[in-house]
Amino acid sequence: MEPQILKGAEEFTLGQGTVGVLLVHGFTGSPQTVRGLGAYLAERDLAVEGIRLPGHGTTWQDLNARATKEWVDAVEAGFAKVAEGRRKVFIVGLSFGAALALDFAARHPDDVAGLVTLAPLVYTKDPRRFLAPVISRLTRSLPGIGNDIADKHARELAYERLPTSAAYQMLRFIKGARAALPGVRCPIVVMHSRNDHTVHPGNSQVIFDTVASEDKELVWLDKSYHVITLDLDKQEVFERTYDFIKRRADA
């Protein structure tokens, strides 16, 4: 029996148009973190698909029972859905969702019209990463990593516990995603807050420096923490994302 989806964490399909956008949320988060961005893009005649990665938006125990392949397959299925009948498709990924998006773009270089990576994760400096295989066997969860947000009025719908088995799989995946960066050739804009406490801002510099894309831009934000789609810079994030997609869609 499938666990119940938390209220507000549901997948969403918004808007219509000849250009599609796939939105991919982060690890232990949910589609709630990108729903506002999705609505903004849909209001501007873009067809938006906000997927829910398996094990997310339910319980941390559910996430702990999931495998990397399920997350990769969810992105594949989401892209196929939004691409049907569309002339161009873009992917917007937040945090771990950006790693999934980069991996997809490297494997499907002719299918992705452009990438927007928001506070992207392709490596971590957390010293616990070296012990992840051991930690996952010793304890099922650790304190959560959600709600790194400067705006006191905003809240992320994320787990309060970090499932260790799933986290170990996530860490292994981002290592591969980082290795795949030279295979990314599509236009890309990379956005990150300098004050991110969850994903080191250096991730964005590494992505910008390593992708093979000739059309690329790196944007630094200063008012937000990690979840920039919900935080004090969200309007700039929304506007820059739309502007990037609009210009490349019309090219």
Whether residue 120 contacts residue 203, with contact meaning beta carbons closer than 8 Å, is answered with yes
Q: Say how far apart CA 91 and CA 48 lie, in whole Å.
A: 10
Q: Which of 213, 226, 231, 233 is catalytic?
A: 226
Active site residue 226: yes
Q: What is the dihedral of CA 49, 169, 197, 121, to 10 degrees?
A: -50
* Active-site entry in 62, 148, 196, 233: 196
User: Is there a catalytic annotation at residue 231?
Assistant: no
Entry pTM: 0.95
List 30, 56, 62, 95, catalytic entry: 95
Is the CATH code 3.40.50.1820 the one for domain 12-250?
yes
Question: pLDDT tens across 83-107, in order?
Answer: 999 999 999 999 999 999 999 999 9
pLDDT in tens, 123-176: 987 656 655 666 777 788 888 888 999 999 999 999 999 999 999 999 999 999
Rounded percentage of the chain residues whose pLDDT exceeds 90: 88
DSSP 79-97: HHHHHTT-SEEEEEEETHH
Q: Are 64 and 163 in contact (CB under 8 A)?
A: yes
| Cα 74 from Cα 136, distance rounded (Å) | 24
Pairing mode, strands 47-50 and 12-14: antiparallel
Q: Is there a catalytic annotation at residue 165?
A: no
Interaxial angle between packed helices 68-83 and 96-107, expressed in degrees from 0 to 180 and rounded to the nearest 10: 70
